[in-house]
Amino acid sequence: MWKHRFTPCTRLAVAILLLSSTLPCQNTGSIEGTLTDASQGVIPGATVKLTQEGTGVDYTTATNGTGYFLFEHLPVGVYDISVNQQGFKAFSLKGVKLDVASRVRQDIGLTVGQLSDSVTVEANPVQVDTANGTVEAVITTEQIQTAVLNGRHYARLAMLMPGAVYHSGSDELSGAGLNGPDSPVSFNGLNNKSEGWFVDGAYDVNFGNGAANTHVPVIDSLEEVQVQTSNYSARWGTTGGVVINAVTRSGTNSPHGSAYEFLRNDKLDARNFFSPTAVPLKQNQFGFTVGGPVVIPKVYNGRNRTFFFWSEDWRRRRNASTSLTATPTDAMRSGNFQAEATRLNKPLLDPSNKQPFPGNIIPASRIDPNAALMLKTYFPAANYSLDPFNNYLNNGVAKLDPRTDTVKVDHYLTDKIRFSATVSYDNIPVLQPNSGLAGSPFPVIRQLEATTGLTGNGRVTFTLSPRTTNEVSYSIKRYGVVLTLQDDTAPSVRPSGLNIKDFYPDANTLHLIRKSRFRAAGEASARINSHWTPRGMTTSS
């Protein structure tokens, strides 16, 4: 019996061909049209050339028997269309704007004449998509660069759309991570968890809560943002609400770059109602972008072929979070609860006999030395007198130091094969001024949350013929969170005289739980292991 064993490469090739469909790619667009003469007769077999203005990369195809031509899986940008056909004047159409996931139609009429004669036309800047009924809009590069956004969170760009409602009160500056906020924008009355967020065609929603972004792209790294509100393709089947697709900028033949810094400071702020002065705030957002062709002198010249884009963004913030709580007064620490008994109109009862303490005062001999030492060491003294019970005002300073790196590379192997890859890395350390896992409103124990995340996606596009195009795409996400409890104003060594035993010593006979220790920074209290999430491949013909 004859047998044949397929190699992995053969299996992959067969899978790509079998998965062909007519669905558009998530991160690209297409340009189509019909070529006719002056009598509206179609012109078959004519060569049509498409040139991307920024990179100088050319694409060519030929019209079919009905004069129809189609360019699919094109990167967003501005294109020129040219036609040279024997018996007709040379034709050139400049400035055709192509947005993400759009299908632009440009019908061309040729005029009889010599090829040495030419007709040049400027494209209409407003393109109407008549190929589908999707209700959508594109937020352009100009709008992105001029928008004034508090926190510079790209989700706020969606507020430029009709039907968008802003509803978030969470911290958007922290970006992704454990404390990453849900989408701050909802559309058309739908819950924000019904939205689909994509970056370069890759799904960008935390699978844990279904709303926060896994990676929050930096505003200065975006080329455009498309918002589809209804009647969109089944390609976007991961969501029941709107679809937001952000596209990372690419390099061009012309080197370009930028540097920026945005400042907020408490010197410009009014005070909180409960605070005698303006709460401390020092916030700086700064970074740079650079892009262009990959050129290594005397080694490689990537003009019209290989391009890169690099973005670095830092966020530094020191801000106070005002919280009002209660702490034992000096009288309470010595056992005198007369004022508290008067405030509550109830006597202080002795737990041993359920009878009131004389004068609502605990005798000094009944006060546990460990309790007195813990009160002195870890509970701050009262500093607020306007409330009869809540007498401690905590203006602890939170520290936020995120950094986001993004690199994108585009390489045109031939006019039929194109490769694109984007990698982003987030490092987000957040030090809370109080509470967190410690559950304390005092600044003696603080929570440090360190989030890291790596997202990447790549795609290879093959133009097999004027009628068949295949694209393979793959995305990956890795992220982890480490929570650490650490002290702040409390001493980092065991107080002298404290002889408290371990909590629940019988619960750790196998020594699987780390013992509590007094040190400047505690051991990790919780950890979410890194994991990766792949996305599949798409093809079309």
Q: What is the pLDDT of residue 301?
A: 93
Q: Has residue 407 got a pLDDT over 80?
A: yes
Mean pLDDT on 403-427? 93
Mean pLDDT on 173-195? 67
User: 242 is written with which tokens?
Assistant: 């709107």
> Mind listing the pLDDT tens digit for each residue in 250-285?
999 999 999 999 988 888 888 877 777 777 788 899
Percent of the chain with pLDDT over 90: 29
Q: Which helix (H) or strand (E) holds 373?
A: helix 369-378
Q: Has residue 209 got a pLDDT over 90?
A: no
Say which residue, 218 or 441, is predicted with more confidence. 218
Q: Has residue 479 got a pLDDT over 50?
A: yes
Cα–Cα dist 151/130, whole Å: 37
Report whether 540 contacts 20 (CB < 8 A). Answer: yes
Cα–Cα dist 153/215, whole Å: 11
Name 359's bridge partners. Answer: none
pTM for this entry:
0.73
Go through the domains of the chain in sequence order and give each one's CATH number: 15-130 (2.60.40.1120), 136-323+397-532 (2.170.130.10), 328-379 (no CATH)
User: Which residue's entry shows tokens 């065991």?
Assistant: 494
- Max mean pLDDT among 2-6, 173-177, 265-269 falls in 265-269
Mean pLDDT on 47-66? 91
Q: What is the pLDDT of residue 124?
A: 67
Cα–Cα dist 3/6, whole Å: 10
Q: What is the pLDDT of residue 221?
A: 93
Q: Has residue 540 got a pLDDT over 90?
A: no
Under the banding of pLDDT at 50, 70 and 90, the label for residue 520 is very low
Say which residue, 104 or 491, is predicted with more confidence. 104
Q: What is the pLDDT of residue 25?
A: 42
> Mind listing the pLDDT tens digit for each residue in 15-54?
444 443 333 345 788 899 999 998 899 999 999 999 999 9
